[in-house]
Amino acid sequence: MLPFVIYAVSKMSYIGRFAPSPSGHLHFGSLIAAVGSYLQAKSQQGKWLVRIEDIDPPREQPGAANAILRTLERYHLFWDDEVVYQSQRTARYEEILSELFKQQQVYYCHCTRAQIQAAGGFYPGTCRDHHVPANHAAIRLKVDSGCSHFNDQILGHIQVDHDLSQEDFILKRRDGLFAYNLAVVIDDHDSGITEIVRGADLLEPTVRQITLFETLGWSAPQWMHLPLAIQSNGLKLSKQNHAPAIDDLPVMETLVQVLQFLGQALPQDVVDMTPTELLQYAIQHWDIHLIPKQSQHSQPFAIVTSTD
């Protein structure tokens, strides 16, 4: 048995994930993130996990979590291990929050969105030293040296605007819901995620998540932000913009469109293939250098990317 154990710990294994929120069914834009993260994991003999980000009940659609999983299966995107539901992990989020309180790295804040807008858009740390009461307060992280740059596998070196990098951001909202950035960092750490592959609309959360990884003393994963599918009206394909669900689209044609969008080579005989064969081909030929970089206009305002 011993040689096997030594082999298992000496080989750095890849763990990737796809983490949809059940605010609607999967659309073409989210399928790009699913396929991209799946191919990146499988091309490295890694695991591909699925996590349902269901910690924002007001934005959820009944039945959407199940519909998303059935759609992934329909596209032959089969995940490893058990699906993680964020709604079942709130005790863990509380545990980390109280740890941060003990270390005096978080504080309560009563400021409204309007007050922050009036102060210039970024939160200026108003409540940091005011010891405001806990009831109906948000919880913010004290950011003293936030993430100022990071490397993206597709976009290259990303320089972060100072105001964004240094902002004390929210870990728990005034309405009592856990913030996306808190839940995601704890989950990705606990699942041992080694690389996060997702849409370029999440570059800004990435900055905050790197800051939180560092505050918690956890090593951050690698990052890869995929280009976003843009509708003909210039809006990104998203649930908020009422992108059509892909549940009923033909599987092979849609997978081919996703691979084309990601700049990947297609086989000659694609019409004779099954979805499993096409995905197998895509895993073998997966080349991240062929993925187009995100178009300029949908970059978050505070982030400058330099491509080298």
In angstroms, the CA 291 to CA 75 distance is: 21
Please choose, out of 125-133, 214-222, 223-231, 255-263, the segment that lies near Zn ion by the rule CB under 5 A. 125-133
Please choose, out of 120-128, 159-167, 262-270, 300-308, the segment that lies near Zn ion by the rule CB under 5 A. 120-128
The set of residues, in sequence order, having a beta carbon less than 8 Å from that of 170 and lying 6+ positions away, is 109, 138, 139, 140, 141, 179, 181
> Among 23, 105, 126, 148, which residue sits at the site for Zn ion (rule: CB under 5 A)?
126
Q: Is 106 in the site for Zn ion (CB under 5 A)?
A: no
Q: Is 35 in the site for Zn ion (CB under 5 A)?
A: no
> Among 109, 147, 155, 203, which residue sits at the site for Zn ion (rule: CB under 5 A)?
109
The whole-angstrom distance between residue 223's C-alpha and the CA centroid of its chain comes to 9
Q: Is 127 in the site for Zn ion (CB under 5 A)?
A: yes
The continuous run of DSSP H or E covering 172 comes out as strand 170-172
Min dist CB 80 to Zn ion, Å, is 42
Give whichever of 163 and 287 is closer to Zn ion, judged by the CB atom: 163
Please tell me the count of residues contacting Zn ion according to CB under 5 A.
4
Looking at residue 215, the DSSP 8-state letter turns out to be H
Question: What φ, ψ does residue 128 adopt, rounded to 5°?
Answer: -50, -50
Give whichever of 23 and 126 is closer to Zn ion, judged by the CB atom: 126
Min dist CB 189 to Zn ion, Å, is 27
Residue that has been written with the tokens 């073998």 in this structure: 284
Give whichever of 127 and 141 is closer to Zn ion, judged by the CB atom: 127
In angstroms, the CA 107 to CA 202 distance is: 25
Min dist CB 131 to Zn ion, Å, is 12
Please choose, out of 45-53, 100-108, 121-129, 227-235, the segment that lies near Zn ion by the rule CB under 5 A. 121-129
DSSP annotation string for 118-165 = HTTSS---TTTTT---STT-EEEE--SS---EEEETTTEEEEEPHHHH
Give whichever of 72 and 109 is closer to Zn ion, judged by the CB atom: 109
Question: What φ, ψ does residue 147 adopt, rounded to 5°?
Answer: -65, 120
276 C-beta neighbours (distance < 10 Å), count: 10
Give whichever of 173 and 189 is closer to Zn ion, judged by the CB atom: 173
Q: How far is CA 187 from CA 23, 40, 79, 88, in A?
A: 19, 20, 16, 11
Give whichever of 127 and 185 is closer to Zn ion, judged by the CB atom: 127
Residues facing residue 170 across a β-bridge: 140
Min dist CB 214 to Zn ion, Å, is 23
> Among 111, 193, 212, 303, which residue sits at the site for Zn ion (rule: CB under 5 A)?
111
Residues at the site binding Zn ion, with contacts judged by CB under 5 A: 109, 111, 126-127
